[in-house]
Structure 1
Amino acid sequence: MRVGVGYDVHRLVEGRKLFLGGIEVPFSKGLLGHSDGDVLIHAICDAILGAISEGDIGVHFPDSDRTTEGIRSITILSYVMDLARKKGYTVVNIDTVVAAEEPKIQPLREAMKKTLAETMGIGADRIGIKGKTAEGMGFAGRKEGIEVYAVALLEEKDESA
């Protein structure tokens, strides 16, 4: 078994679409980033990459690479999952905490889990997504950005079975 921890944060800005957990969320602002800014997927990717000792998203998708500017984060997740499989690992489960005053996570949870599960090739019951507010404190509490914490548990495939 291998465990990885991921964290990501992006600023909310006008003039961008909001993507969270691989879905487009109707909202007045979007997340600023080299990619589509999907902090939930970025934290999950970093957790998986950490578990397999492959650095972080920036190692594989540096923001200096203009060919990946605007890339959908779901594509990054597919790449990370392929890398984990090639190294002989499967995802046992993912658990996440999304810190945001808005949008509310609960109404989006099942759609995000479905999209993530399909992309990762695991059951939606293996993905935890919890929404938390910052009670008005800090940048998340002031609605300036969204931050996500993620933990991934991976298991090495048993090739003898």
Structure 2
Amino acid sequence: MNLRIGFGYDVHQLVEGRDFWLGGVKIPHKKGALGHSDADVLVHVICDALLGAANLGDIGKHFPDNSKEFKDIDSKLLLGEVVQMLKENNYEIVNIDSTVCLQLPKLAPFINQMKDELAKCINIESDRISIKATTTEKLGFVGNEKGVSAYATVLINKVGVS
């Protein structure tokens, strides 16, 4: 086995007047994440973690936030491209572990739907994706409902290598 670990972190400001996308799922909320794309912070950290594990750079390198091509794009499309890059470099995804930091809304009712949506996009079983949610106990920008952050760790394996 040729295992590699990758880590991703991202943060987005929360603002009124935007849809709130998380893990490929539209979450009902009065605010949404601000960003060049749909600002799906969970998908972004997974992309970064996968790219990092494969030593392929980061999300900004492949999908720059000043490119009109990626304006308001569905982040699941970016994740699909990242998964394709991994396949082209003979990597398979072993598992994904992620944490979303958000004061409100509570994410427990949406976790399984997000796992299913991501699994479909990545083409792996949903039990290989972990999504945890936490608050910052009303501390900082997340606790004051001004932003959302997320972290992801991934394990990938180089296939065809002994």
Normalised-by-shorter TM-score class: over 0.9
Give the whole-Å Cα distance in 1 for the aligned partners of 2:69 and 2:76.
Answer: 16
Give the whole-Å Cα distance in 1 for the aligned partners of 2:66 and 2:108.
Answer: 35
Give the whole-Å Cα distance in 1 for the aligned partners of 2:136 and 2:21.
Answer: 20
Of 26, 50, 53, 1:51 maps to 53
Give the whole-Å Cα distance in 2 for the aligned partners of 1:5 and 1:159.
Answer: 23
Of 70, 73, 78, 1:71 maps to 73
The C-alpha deviation readout for 1:47-89, integer Å capped at 9, x for no partner, is 0000011111100011111121001100010000000011000
- Long gaps (5+) in structure 2: none
Q: TM-score, normalised by structure 1?
A: 0.97
Of 3, 6, 12, 1:4 maps to 6
The C-alpha deviation readout for 1:78-127, integer Å capped at 9, x for no partner, is 00000001100000000001000111111100000000000001000000
Q: TM-score, normalised by structure 2?
A: 0.97
Of 79, 99, 111, 1:109 maps to 111
Number of residues paired by the alignment?
A: 160
One-letter identity of the residue aligned with 1:10:
H
The C-alpha deviation readout for 1:35-54, integer Å capped at 9, x for no partner, is 00000000000000000111
Give the 4+ runs in structure 1 shifted more than 2 A. none
Give the whole-Å Cα distance in 2 for the aligned partners of 1:153 and 1:108.
Answer: 24
SS at match of 1:136: coil
